[in-house]
């Protein structure tokens, strides 16, 4: 017979085995956030829909934050999925939800209050909060001057926190927080006189001021601050550590600086006069020639807005101009260039635009194959202006200085040396007004950025959840007084 002792022994073994199984099961840890991202093959990111963060144009997704976070996703070897928040409160509430975004990349500044909602990465961009007023109105110069003014800021922003602190010291300061607007809306409201003042970070002021010629910076409110990415609160540091390592890497290898240069390094080249004039010509002149730019761009496989930007830089979209040096037409072609590109009449707008497009494509084809986009386009523009020989001289100077001859950020530092004897005497092609192509490229990049933003289409489909593009209007109203410099 089966003894009671043996039965008890078997039961004990079974209980021990079951207990061990349960213990082992309990010891299996849940995957970290970084492991889940890699297992899913998707990095889900939440951001804001604005020119300084993320938007879509006809070529796809773009924006400083998008470019930076897309490279991070590529480093992880995963797909990037972007969604936009209706407002900052929504952004933080969505962060870390099940199957939701694990990272916020939206031009965020950490604060004591926000650190209760999220954890922040190493810094990547320094900005300064600025008080914005309308040209022609009394300029505020101190925080005390904010009292009695109509002020609106983004709801949940660090600017709202700043105003709350100021109000403790000066109860006469009143302000409204709105979750129905973006930065471009606030600037427009100041520009149109709907509100007296707003607070905006310096990078977004610089990017958007050209759309609003009446907008002015009154003064900086406090010290410069750092923008950072954010992840959900908690003890899981896996993703945050990876983010910090990535941001440190792009800071060290120059990628971050190239992005800053691309998006912010040329934002102030227009100045007041240029901004106001461009705003007028954008609506009065461009429509006459847009179809010619589009046709030529299609033929040469370039962006029509880049051609339009070149045309504006060259002639302010005027087809019948002639310079003192004999270049003529909307794209300001020399006689030799016109003949080489098959242009018989340089004063014919369609022919001039077509010739300019062919010449740009030719210049790009002549470049060293090691030069990649977007630098390839900037090099082609410089060659369009100063000639490929002088550009090669500048590249060699860059290489001799230990810089990268295939990066515009480095070569543009060398171009002005071509007008200095101590440098151009060492080059093959000699003297050149090397500062001109630097300004030429900077201006065209700025015009191109503006054209890209104002011609973007409305988003289609569900790629960006709940997102609405904010297309800035261009104010044609001439300001009432000469502005101060920003």
Cα 287 to Cα 285: distance, rounded to the nearest angstrom: 6
Close Cβ partners of 390 (under 8 Å, ≥ 6 residues apart)? 415, 418, 427, 429, 432, 434, 437
Cα 276 to Cα 270: distance, rounded to the nearest angstrom: 9
Cα 231 to Cα 91: distance, rounded to the nearest angstrom: 11
Work out the number of other CB atoms within 10 angstroms of the CB of residue 98: 4
Parallel, antiparallel, or unpaired for β 225-231 and 103-109? Answer: antiparallel
Residue tagged 């909307």 (tokens): 330
Reduced 3-state DSSP string for 1-59: CCCHHHHHHHHHHHHHHHHHHHHHHHHCCCCCHHHHHHHHCEEEEEECCECCCEEEECC
Cα 388 to Cα 382: distance, rounded to the nearest angstrom: 8
Nearest to 55 by CA among 66, 44, 46, 45: 66
314 annotated active-site:
yes
Let me know: does 321 contact 279? Beta carbons within 8 Å: no
Cα 132 to Cα 127: distance, rounded to the nearest angstrom: 15
H/E stretch holding 414: helix 408-414
Cα 78 to Cα 75: distance, rounded to the nearest angstrom: 8
CB-neighbour burial class of residue 101 (10 A; exposed 0-12, middle 13-18, buried 19+): buried
Q: How far is CA 397 from its chain centroid?
A: 29
Task: Give me 285's structure tokens.
Answer: 């002149």
Nearest to 248 by CA among 122, 129, 159, 374: 122
Q: Considering 314, 369, 399, 436, which one is annotated as catalytic?
A: 314
Close Cβ partners of 469 (under 8 Å, ≥ 6 residues apart)? 49, 55, 56, 456, 458, 459
Cα 162 to Cα 152: distance, rounded to the nearest angstrom: 13
Residues labelled as active-site residues: 314
């Amino acid at each position: 017979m089966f003894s009671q002792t043996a039965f008890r022994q078997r039961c004990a073994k079974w209980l021990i085995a079951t207990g061990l199984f349960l213990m082992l099961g309990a010891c299996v840890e849940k995957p970290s956030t970084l492991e889940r991202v890699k297992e899913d093959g998707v990095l889900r990111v939440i951001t804001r829909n604005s020119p300084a963060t993320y938007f879509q144009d006809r070529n796809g997704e773009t924006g400083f934050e998008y470019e930076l976070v897309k490279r991070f996703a590529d480093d992880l070897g995963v797909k990037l999925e972007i969604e936009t928040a209706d407002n900052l409160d929504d952004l933080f509430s969505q962060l870390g939800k099940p199957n939701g975004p694990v990272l916020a990349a939206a031009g965020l500044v950490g604060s004591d209050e926000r650190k209760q909602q999220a954890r922040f990465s190493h810094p990547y961009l320094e900005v300064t909060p600025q008080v914005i007023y309308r040209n022609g109105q009394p300029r505020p110069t101190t925080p005390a001057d904010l009292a009695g003014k109509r002020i609106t800021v983004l709801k949940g922003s660090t600017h709202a926190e700043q105003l709350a602190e100021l109000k403790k010291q000066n109860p006469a300061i009143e302000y409204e927080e709105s979750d129905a607007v973006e930065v471009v809306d606030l600037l427009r409201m100041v520009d149109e006189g709907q509100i007296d003042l707003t607070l905006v970070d310096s990078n977004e002021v610089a990017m958007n001021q050209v759309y609003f010629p009446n907008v002015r910076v009154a003064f900086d409110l406090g010290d410069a601050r750092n923008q950072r990415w954010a992840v959900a609160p908690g003890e899981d540091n896996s993703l945050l550590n990876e983010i910090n390592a990535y941001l440190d890497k792009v800071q060290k290898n120059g990628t971050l600086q190239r992005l800053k240069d691309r998006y912010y390094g040329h934002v102030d080249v227009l100045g007041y006069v240029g901004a106001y004039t461009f705003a007028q010509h954008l609506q009065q002149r461009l429509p006459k020639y847009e179809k010619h730019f589009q046709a030529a761009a299609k033929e040469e496989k370039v962006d029509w807005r880049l051609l339009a930007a070149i045309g504006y830089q060259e002639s302010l979209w005027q087809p019948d101009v002639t310079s003192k040096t004999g270049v003529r037409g909307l794209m300001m072609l020399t006689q030799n260039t016109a003949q080489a590109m098959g242009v018989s009449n340089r004063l014919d707008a369609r022919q001039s635009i077509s010739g300019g497009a062919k010449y740009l494509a030719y210049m790009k084809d002549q470049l060293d194959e090691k030069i990649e986009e977007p630098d390839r386009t900037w090099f082609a523009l410089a060659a369009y202006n100063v000639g490929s020989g002088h550009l090669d001289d500048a590249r060699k100077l860059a290489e001799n200085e230990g810089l990268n001859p295939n990066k515009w950020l480095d070569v543009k530092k060398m171009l002005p040396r071509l007008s200095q004897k101590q440098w151009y005497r060492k080059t093959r092609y000699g003297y050149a007004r090397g500062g001109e192509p630097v300004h030429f490229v900077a201006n065209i990049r700025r015009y191109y950025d503006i054209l890209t933003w104002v011609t973007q289409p409305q988003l289609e489909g569900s790629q960006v959840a709940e997102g609405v593009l904010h297309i800035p209007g261009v104010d044609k109203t001439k300001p009432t007084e000469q502005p101060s410099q920003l």
